[in-house]
Structure 1
Amino acid sequence: MIPIYSIISFCSYRWYKQALYYETIRDCYEAICIHSFFALLLVYLGDDITTRQSKITGPERRKLVFPLNCFYYRPLSDMFLHYMKYGILQYVIVKPAMTIATVVLQILGLYCETTFNFAFGKVYITIINFISVTVAMYCLVLLYVTIKTEIQEHNVFKATEYWSVSNIEIGISALLICVEMIVFAVLHVYAFNYTPYIVPNVTTPLRKSLHDGFNPIDLAKEIGWACKDIGLLIMGRPLPVRDGQVSGNLQRANTVRAKNRFFKSRKVSAVGNINESDLEAAEKLMDHEPGKH
């Protein structure tokens, strides 16, 4: 899996115009990976079908895993492992078939990778792939949940005197996220540069910046407005024009910040009363927020 994914990723970067063809090969190999894991679980369970079925223990009727947990299945039946195999093998057939269809449609100019228009093939292939992989993954998860007790001797993580298997999994996940956040912290410095928003001779205290960054009032207002808009759309009424966010931007741009105290130099509801320097500052702020005016 590692060399195949690495080589395909490199080829997609090096020959980016043909990246679609390389990516379809990678996606096709995903079906082989899922089937390989399924085969591994069966080997852990036993060498033949009779041994595997005899090792499955527990109640005869169990609830299916979420989101179908209102239905029951019979893991002790002779057909249970066969049904799981059929559910996974269908993806091994569907995925390569959709890969070939993708390549053919791309050559004929009928795939159109950049749109989900129903006049092109991408939307149909995406829907078929989604249904197929969902069924396969559900069967794989259901099989694992059913036999996890029987194959627990093959667990990679072993419980210790101080750590349970769950503790070890959570700890490794948390450690990886910590390392990941270091990389993201560096990338955020470049991706979300603050320098375009600097106003000359104006400083903002840290307390005010944290308050603006974590203040949920704007989010609460947007949610409230969205709920009202949905109600208006249902009733067939026109949507109102709201300028509250624009007014808030003007107020913040026209606020003098000094010594941790904030004094508004003048009322900003009348734009004509703003002096030239204040207006330039407001326009500069709003230019960097084009979706809000």
Structure 2
Amino acid sequence: MSFTEQEVELLSRQLPLWVEASKVRSAYGKTASYIPELAKAPQHALGIHLIDTTGTAVSSGDCSLSFTMQSISKVFTLILALMDNGEEAVFQKVGMEPTGDNFNSMLKLELVRPGIPFNPLINAGAIAISSLIHGKDSAEKSSRILSFFQALAGNDTLTYDMDVYRSESDTANLNRSMAYLLKDNGVLEGQVEEVLDVYFHHCSIQVTCSDLARMALVLANNGTDPVTGVTLIPRRYVQIAKTFMITCGMYNASGEFAIQVGLPAKSGVSGGILTMVPGRLGIGVVGPALNVKGNSIAGVHLLETISRELDWSLF
């Protein structure tokens, strides 16, 4: 289903105003300084790109800004791990529940048996998922992930931001601690440093809002790219991914986002947000200034405004 005429008319008139009104919120956020390279992003930037199943697109703001996927990549590595291994094998290694903790917390790995990550969208879960991607070594696994992301985005030029990759790797003490604990718990497949190399690479894949929107469109269309007609993901795995996005996709603000916006979404600490109107639209947003939960402060406000004005909430 495409944009309605009323939606196109309203978006063409109001979207630039909504972007400017939301951009003001960026003054109250901060870029992600714990990964030094991410701190260099323009704090007050805000952009959005929307695309429907006919290929009609609407965009506004700083939508040409390049940024790395960070945790947004976890949605698609989960899907690839499911395609490689099936549900039973994957969910022996990660759970299906929200944590209520920060995305980089390792608290429950020790406190709650059997010591597996609560879900695949927190760091510990995504590291475990990275170990399940098929390939003879980290280079082959990373190459398969990148090729999969390129197909989903309809963009074979997607590549890594190697400055961000190195910055993540150099400062990843907490992620390394989690990975070694997962290895000790019998959760992690393979060598810790090789798994982490895969994880850092897929977090460092560089995109724009239009790339995110096209990837979201494939999920919105139940795994088939409506632009090309090619089925890239089995419908069942899209269902699993979208459910995790509703329950866990916005870190420990996922419940609030479900109430205020009401759409499946995944954020990343570079300020990106991937979301969708199922069956209709893919949406990519970037706003590097983050709130205390690690989500784009201006991007969340913009999506709240659009969803409310166009009545897009699923609930």
Shorter-chain-normalised TM-score: which range?
A: under 0.3
Where relative contact order (Cα < 8 A, 6+ residues apart) is larger, the structure is 2
| Bigger CA radius of gyration | 1
TM-score, normalised to structure 2's length? 0.21
TM-score, normalised to structure 1's length? 0.22
